[in-house]
A and B are shown apart, each in its own frame.
Chain A
Amino acid sequence: DAGVTQSPTHLIKTRGQQVTLRCSPKSGHDTVSWYQQALGQGPQFIFQYYEEEERQRGNFPDRFSGHQFPNYSSELNVNALLLGDSALYLCASSPGVREQFFGPGTRLTVL
């Protein structure tokens, strides 16, 4: 079992650009959650996907959107990037609301 995988590992963008981050959940997991972790802070919940639908959303603007595919993998899209979007983006998968398993993250730097 490969566990939760994320791509790319690192990404550098400029303000105003758009970015897509990808996540493959752990085998057997149907729920994917995305988190943003700023330097020195705990992760903050962005949204969760289940059965290809956004089930719940945290306090993030509409510039943050996502998608879940039939194979349960997921994408996080961020439009009109701001300097403040620089962070580690973490994906977590779980079988429903049970224990979440996290991927290694994608480090996004916005210049």
Chain B
Amino acid sequence: KQEVTQIPAALSVPEGENLVLNCSFTDSAIYNLQWFRQDPGKGLTSLLLIQSSQREQTSGRLNASLDKSSGRSTLYIAASQPGDSATYLCAVRPAYNNNDMRFGAGTRLTVKP
């Protein structure tokens, strides 16, 4: 059974810092991995989608990497801003059962001005 873990659970950084959020998964047989942002009480906004054949994806100040063999993905945020404060979730779609997405519990990020 695919398990997704995100560490740390919470992170507080001063504005302008570069930071890395971590996601690990137990089964390397994945179809894709997706990073989401969630503001309090709101829905999920897709940030980056990495297909199983890809190693990384970039969008603006965000860069996500994928290492299937080690069961890890990282989300790199450059030059953090207070507006980046939110919970960041990673989700894995298994290769053998790709109708079902498995989510981590998220990392709650606070960027202090």
Contacts and interface: CB of A to CB of B under 8 A. Distances in A.
B82 to A, nearest CB: 22
Interface size class of A (residues with CB under 8 A): 20 to 34
Nearest to A44: B103
Interface in A76-111: 88, 90, 92, 97, 99-105, 107
Nearest to B90: A42
Interface size class of B (residues with CB under 8 A): 20 to 34
Contacts of A45: 100-102
A15 interface: no
A55 interface: yes
Interface of B: 4, 31, 34, 36, 41-46, 49, 89, 91, 93, 97-106
13 contacts: A6-B43, A35-B103, A41-B105, A42-B4, A42-B106, A44-B103, A45-B101, A55-B99, A99-B46, A101-B46, A102-B36, A105-B43, A107-B41
Interface of A: 4, 6, 33, 35, 40-45, 48, 55-56, 58, 88, 90, 92, 97, 99-105, 107
Given A43-B103, A44-B103, A100-B46, 16 more contacts: A35-B101, A35-B103, A41-B105, A42-B89, A42-B106, A45-B102, A56-B97, A88-B41, A90-B43, A97-B98, A97-B99, A99-B34, A99-B46, A101-B46, A102-B45, A104-B43
